[in-house]
Structure 1
Amino acid sequence: MKKIILIVAVIVVLVAAGLAAWLLFLRPAPEDAAAETEEAVAEEAGVHSGPVQYLELAPSFVVNFPHQGRQRYMQASLSVMSRDSEAIAAVSRHMPLIRHNLINLFSAQLLLVFEDPSGIERLRQLATAEVQQVLINEIGREGIEEVLFTDFVMQ
């Protein structure tokens, strides 16, 4: 009977030592597990991590529109920001469609810029959504994070 108790005690000690060793040495650290989980979620969502890349949408956009009986002009230089090199290549490949959609957007929305101080930011957000929609239709995902105004002049 003493042998059985001794064997059980040795087994319990060995299991406890093995569990302690696993917890200390083999189990990933919580921050590593969280980072791996975030990377997996981002990859599933189609978001690539990496360095930020910019692509200038050259030449500048020039749009004319009437405002209070006068002809007005807007000139804007834009760049797209992305961490996905495939999306940057898709923007280059579909540049004529993107430029066409943005010119139509700017022509339709420019009165908002004159009437509201936050209109330029709203116009930038609409431009971002427009480019993302083109990429969704063409490559199946948004691909870019932001459209940025690098120059904006209105007369």
Structure 2
Amino acid sequence: MADKDNLNLGGDAPQAEEKSGGKGKLIIIIVAVVVLLGGGAGAFFFLSGGDEAEGEDAVEEVVEEAPKVPLYLDIEKLLVNLEHGGRTRYVQAEMQLMSYKQEAIDQAARDMPAIRDGLITLFSQQDFAALKTIEGKDALRADALKAVNRALGLTPPDAIEKIYFENFVLQ
């Protein structure tokens, strides 16, 4: 009987180990499947749900970072007379207005008579000797920009941004 008891004990032990080993493997497999499903679901929601909002933001960022294209508008030649030392002197200038906003350029084209009037008035008030210097021309350019935007009623960022002298003659 001792042999029979040993056989029974030996026979019961492997079955118990198989049952507990089978349960352990089953638990590990279930946990692995749950982790994989959870990871897959998380990846799906993260990648699919986040793309729409992120894509719109990315498009907005790209639009904001796009290089600005300057737009130009010619101002016809101005010829203005100045009094200097009892003599009549002349200033002849050809200029271009520059803006990044099409609306500002369109408005400047419509209101060109008001712009020219403001510039003629400004130029006729200048000191002839000062206009011979770079500083004098730079000051005139800054004042001319203010006069143009004042005539248009525009303020930054919708305003004319720069004025370029294409030709500037003092006589």
TM-score range, shorter chain: 0.5 to 0.7
TM-score (ref. length: structure 2): 0.62
Please say if 1:144 is aligned against 2:164: no
C-alpha RMSD over aligned residues: 3.8
Mapped partners of 1:16, 1:146: distance in 2: 53
Which stretch has the larger CA shift, 128-137 or 69-78?
128-137
| Separation of aligned partners in 1, 2:46 and 2:40 | 10
Is the contact between residue 84 and residue 127 of structure 2 (CA under 8 Å) also seen in structure 1? no
Given that 2:101 and 2:158 are in contact with CA atoms closer than 8 Å, whether structure 1 keeps it comes out as: no
Structure 2, unpaired ranges of 5+: 1-25
Instruction: Say whether 1:113 aligns with 2:104.
Output: no
Task: Give the match for residue 18 of structure 1.
Answer: 44
Deviation at 1:91, TM superposition (A): 1.4
Distance 1:117 1:89, change over 3 A: closer
Q: Which has the larger radius of gyration?
A: 2
> Is it true that 1:104 corresponds to 2:121 in the alignment?
yes
Show the counterpart of 1:135: 152
Give runs of aligned pairs for residues 48-67 of structure 1, distance below 5 A: 51-58=69-76, 60-67=77-84
Give the structure with the larger helix fraction. Answer: 2
Deviation at 1:69, TM superposition (A): 3.5
**TM-score, length-scaled by structure 1:** 0.67
Secondary structure in 1 matching 2:117 = helix
After TM superposition, the structure 1 = structure 2 runs for residues 64-103 of structure 1, keeping only pairs within 5 Å, are 64-103=81-120
Cα distance, 1:97 vs structure 2: 1.1
Where does structure 1 lack aligned partners over 5 or more consecutive residues? 40-48
Helix, strand or coil for the counterpart of 2:98? strand
